Structure 1
Amino acid sequence: MSSLSNSSKAVARAVAGDTASAATTPQGWATLLGGRNAISSLVLAGGVALHAINVFLTTTMLPSIVRDIGGLSYYAWNTTLFVIASIIGATCSARLLQLLRPRGAYVTAAVLFALGALVCGLAQAMPVMLAGRTVQGLGGGLLISLSYAMIRLLFPQPLWPRAMALVSGMWGIGTLVGPALGGVFAELDAWRSAFHVLIPLALTFAAIAAVVLPRDVDARHPSPLPLLQMALLAAAVLAVSAGSISTRPTWNVAGLAAAAALSLLIVRNERRSPRRLLPRNAFRRNAPLGLVYAVMSLLAMTVTSDDVFVPLFLQVLHGQSPLIAGYLSALMAGGWTVGSVTSSNFAGRKVRRIIVAAPCVSLVGSLVLLWLMPAASADTAHLVILAGGLFSLGLGVGMAWPHLLTWVLTFAPPDEQDRASASITTVQLYATAVGAAAAGLVANTAGLVDPGGAVGTARAALALFAVFSVAPVLCLAIALRLARLLAVAAR
């Protein structure tokens, strides 16, 4: 704790609530959603909504897709490759914005997204589906990052908080619309049409962007891309995914070992290279920023590892339709939203307590799923308790999330705010990709593919929730350390 510098202590006091930092905005929602601003808001929010809807739509339809074209052993790769490509897109967004300017960058992102949807809709085998998901992820990652980056270009500063809230709120739209669309198309045995519907939507936003977005941007050059770290990051996730395909423990362990070694290389290069993914000092011992990243990663993995397979478990073990299974799994996202909204007004000691309580709430949800998900049942009471567990899992993450994101920006050096902003997406997506890949490894090893069927799926559910219940426990230990560090700094 003594390693905190005076400036870090001042930052910690501010975060802990000992100094006021509230900002007032004279312009409200009417200004943001009126006139020309309304069209610009539609473009930025619409791009994120497309990405979010696609995430939940595909998760809901994936069991039906696998039944049609096969590739069950590659089930988790649909999420893994999608997220890896999203990370690459998010990291490259600043460079693309400088190269193609706002209009060209946004149109390129939307066209890539539409192209990926087209490939997915035409896929006759899982390798083609994975290729389409990769292209979709690249376009989606660009759409998200460009939407946040262009808020500064399109709106006056007093409107930035409202615009950020609008764009972030599109994930709630995705939670509501995605499972419904995915469930309907899956039940009609028309999952290909669901991907095709996304194409004209993406191209419409591209056409609007080509008209309303500014032609140019300031000449400020972004930091050089950390290409080595990006390659190592992708290789680490792919190593876990490659190991997850086999049911042989030797290959599983080899994949995990390779991923661990590659992750250590990422940390090594982040410490030494001027081209970094994260702000400097993120890996310094007792640095609050590093602890914040650790809590973020573990919470994201807690949700993602479960979210990937929940629709499949609900359909196979509990006899639910794709539509109902999609909405039940979306309860995690609903809990995340409720937790974020309800905790965002807290400050000071309450925030430190929330950071400690959050993993406990998620752990309760994980234990409920560990108890009930492997037991095949369509009983109403059984499903109600399961729904509560799913909601609790997301609620814990949402309780901590807005404060963790604020701390990333607060603890980062003032001259690295752009890198700090981008790191939020990078860390979240990396944890999501690793969680999805590791979930696939655990599920396949436990019997999802061999023996398969209801027996294998039940074994996979038991193993998955048992293993990933460790994540909130580790998160609690780190959250306690972070809370103590901030409490000392706030004195």
Structure 2
Amino acid sequence: MQNNIENTASATIAVESAPARWGDLLSGRNGLYAFALAGGVTLHALNMYIATTVMPSVIADIGGLDFYAWTTTLFVVASILGAALTAKLLNGAGPRGAYIIATILFAAGTLICSIAINMPAMLAGRSIQGLGGGFLYALAYGLTRVVLPERLWGRAIALIAAMWGVATLIGPAVGGIFAEYGAWRAAFWSLLPFAGVFAILAFATLPRSSWDKNERSSVPLLQLALLTGAVLAVSAGSLSSDAWWKIAGLVAGLALIALIAAVETQAEARLLPRRSFNVATPLGALYLIIALLMLSMQPEIFVPYLLQHLHGQSPLWAGYLAALMAIGWTVASFLSSRWQEGSGNRLIIAGPVLALIGLALLAIFLPIDGAGDWLLLAPICLGLILIGFGIGLAWPSLVTRVYQNAPATEQDLAAGGMTTVQLFAIAFGTACAGMVANFAGIAEPGGMAGASNAALWLAVIFAVAPALGIAIAVKVARLTGKRG
């Protein structure tokens, strides 16, 4: 009898310690969990790219050109709020209820967008969409550790990250087809059946309650207000044609970030786990690397424009060449999940190194007037792939390390914090990219000279982010050396 118990225990330990395989994640109940979590992220990501593609058609139909940029700004701000409130939602509603509430919010916002007759209605719909989408994205990370064994976390995170690459390839094509036929409302409608399927799948598969009963879930109202103000300040400043307003928006955003860090040190209700703003701690360093990697990719928003004006590419080709960054991220995420066992620290260091090399290639070749010469386009494509590949290579190890270094009672807060940091870095970086491009002359004097100067300075300025990321990654390797 004792031998049977020991054999059973040994078999269990062997299964738990066995190398993770994709078949373990994608089969049985684990497969249902993975499909539900990845599906929610896909829904959120597809919506982002579809909406961006059809928005010119929306403006042509219902007006509101002055508020064009705010359809993205409010969406991102609401997504940040959703990510920050995920711990509260998960604690109060449980995994099943949280996922269903998030999907209903997303579907409601999508419905409002599809029937909007003016820009205020569209902005309201986009805000609700963003809130639901932020929940879906953060819940995917938060529920990974709840419903899956730890040895599958890396694979699951790689699958979630890969959904962004899939959405980058599919979203613009879907949105473009609807826009071409003047059916932008149908582009939003098309997401609703998928939302319904994922809601049903969540109800049928996810557990009603979580084993995390000691999770903190107080709402950090002050920090959320400051965070929202920081994003809006930078976004509003970047939209102004006055350079001083741009600078004022940037300074205000940085000041509010510093204020958030000060408030977090004393607050009971927090956005991030304790000491997350302290770079001397593993958790603080990990969050900073995530932010720096997100900043590294923000010149991407100008790549289609620059490829058209400097390298003679059509809008379709320019869009898909820009998607090479997302493809690199997707491929590397899958490879990294296989390599991270025993090599996590090396992958975290290699990520920003590759991103820096990619931005260096863009700085050298993107500003040149190539007129369609593929001898110049080839290194540009390689640079874009390397930036995405570097981020994807480090991503599963970074997210897993966040779980491992967060306090046991703040795991949901840590998961939601990853999305909060990621989305905030994207919003901040996008605003800064616009500021750099305008300062470099992309609009004034404009033309080939302005585009070339903007291409150079975008790559050079944003190369600072992965350069700092390398130094922080080395620090993380020292702080978490025992973890491989």
Does 275-284 or 165-174 show the bigger shift?
165-174
SS at match of 2:273: coil
1:142 aligns with 2:135: yes
Partner of 1:401: 395
1:253 aligns with 2:253: no
Change in 2 beyond 3 A, CA 1:447/1:143: same
Partner of 2:192: 199
Partner of 2:471: 477
Following TM superposition, by how much is the alpha carbon of 1:72 offset from its aligned partner in structure 2, in angstroms? Answer: 8.0
2:101 and 2:305 map into 1 onto residues whose CA distance is: 34
Does 363-372 or 165-174 show the bigger shift?
165-174
Partner of 1:328: 321
Change in 2 beyond 3 A, CA 1:56/1:259: same
2:87 and 2:458 map into 1 onto residues whose CA distance is: 37
The one-letter code sitting in structure 1 at the alignment partner of 2:41 is V
Partner of 1:3: none
The one-letter code sitting in structure 2 at the alignment partner of 1:198 is L
The one-letter code sitting in structure 2 at the alignment partner of 1:202 is A
Following TM superposition, by how much is the alpha carbon of 1:258 offset from its aligned partner in structure 2, in angstroms? Answer: 0.8
Does 62-71 or 43-52 show the bigger shift?
62-71
The one-letter code sitting in structure 1 at the alignment partner of 2:78 is A
Following TM superposition, by how much is the alpha carbon of 1:251 offset from its aligned partner in structure 2, in angstroms? Answer: 0.9
Change in 2 beyond 3 A, CA 1:374/1:285: closer
Partner of 1:106: 99
**Structure 2 residues without counterparts, runs of 5 or longer:** 1-13
1:56 and 1:329 map into 2 onto residues whose CA distance is: 13
Partner of 1:365: 358
Following TM superposition, by how much is the alpha carbon of 1:388 offset from its aligned partner in structure 2, in angstroms? Answer: 1.2
Write out aligned runs for 1:63-462 (5 A).
77-100=70-93, 102-121=95-114, 130-150=123-143, 166-186=159-179, 188=181, 190-210=183-203, 213=206, 220=213, 222-284=216-278, 286-303=280-297, 305-346=298-339, 351-376=344-369, 377-450=371-444, 457-462=451-456
Following TM superposition, by how much is the alpha carbon of 1:58 offset from its aligned partner in structure 2, in angstroms? Answer: 4.0
1:454 and 1:70 map into 2 onto residues whose CA distance is: 31
Change in 2 beyond 3 A, CA 1:378/1:103: same
Following TM superposition, by how much is the alpha carbon of 1:268 offset from its aligned partner in structure 2, in angstroms? Answer: 0.6
Following TM superposition, by how much is the alpha carbon of 1:154 offset from its aligned partner in structure 2, in angstroms? Answer: 5.8
Following TM superposition, by how much is the alpha carbon of 1:481 offset from its aligned partner in structure 2, in angstroms? Answer: 3.9
1:24 aligns with 2:31: no
2:212 and 2:477 map into 1 onto residues whose CA distance is: 41
The one-letter code sitting in structure 2 at the alignment partner of 1:254 is A
Partner of 1:16: none
**Structure 1 residues without counterparts, runs of 5 or longer:** 1-20
1:23 and 1:179 map into 2 onto residues whose CA distance is: 41
Change in 2 beyond 3 A, CA 1:262/1:383: same
Is the contact between residue 333 and residue 393 of structure 2 (CA under 8 Å) also seen in structure 1? yes
TM-score by length of 2: 0.81
SS at match of 2:333: helix
SS at match of 1:277: coil
Change in 2 beyond 3 A, CA 1:185/1:96: same
1:163 and 1:65 map into 2 onto residues whose CA distance is: 36
Q: Deviations over 1:30-75 (max 9, x none)?
A: 6765677765554333222111222343455567777888888877
TM-score by length of 1: 0.80
Q: Percent identity?
A: 50
The one-letter code sitting in structure 2 at the alignment partner of 1:473 is A
Is the contact between residue 103 and residue 136 of structure 2 (CA under 8 Å) also seen in structure 1? yes
Is the contact between residue 76 and residue 308 of structure 1 (CA under 8 Å) also seen in structure 2? no
The one-letter code sitting in structure 2 at the alignment partner of 1:200 is P
Partner of 1:14: none
Following TM superposition, by how much is the alpha carbon of 1:271 offset from its aligned partner in structure 2, in angstroms? Answer: 0.9
Change in 2 beyond 3 A, CA 1:71/1:117: same
Q: Deviations over 1:130-175 (max 9, x none)?
A: 5443322211111123344445666688877765555444334324
Does 30-39 or 199-208 show the bigger shift?
30-39
The one-letter code sitting in structure 1 at the alignment partner of 2:227 is L
Is the contact between residue 36 and residue 202 of structure 2 (CA under 8 Å) also seen in structure 1? yes
